[in-house]
Amino acid sequence: MPKGGIRDHGDQQVFHRDEIDPLKVIVDLEVRHLKNIIQISEASSLAFHGMGLLAQSGGRLSVHEMASLTGSSEAHLSKVFQRLSRVGFVSSVRGPGGGFVLSRPAEEITLLDIYIAIEGGL
């Protein structure tokens, strides 16, 4: 029998005590159950990560810098930040050395605020 702690038997999961690898059990449970707790769009994910980067930097970041740090498309990130700019969370700075800055203190912007700005509501 292969190693591991959880086996599917029809519609039941059976734990085999003689072969339990505790880490494997935890990972299996997380993968099977936690992945469906919340799913967000790529746009929301980019908004969360980008806003977090701006909050940590305490200053201006360009779309190029944020895209590089998040491994995302500059075009998609730019569209996301245009939305965040329209609702007043960020301000854009044009020209050489341009980018985005937070328009108000990070402590005043919640994840729910960001989500609603991108998705349009719950």
Domains in the chain, start-ordered, CATH in brackets?
6-36 (no CATH), 42-119 (1.10.10.10)
This prediction's pTM: 0.68
CA distance 16 to 20: 6
Q: What is the pLDDT of residues 55-111, one digit of tens each?
A: 998 889 999 999 999 899 999 999 999 999 999 999 998 888 889 999 999 999 999
Residues 34, 65: contact at Cβ < 8 Å?
no
Task: Specify the 3-state DSSP secondary structure of 101.
Answer: strand
Contacts of 72 (CB under 8 A, 6+ apart): 42, 46, 49, 66
Query: Residue 67 half-sphere exposure, CB side, CA atoms within 13 Å?
Result: 14
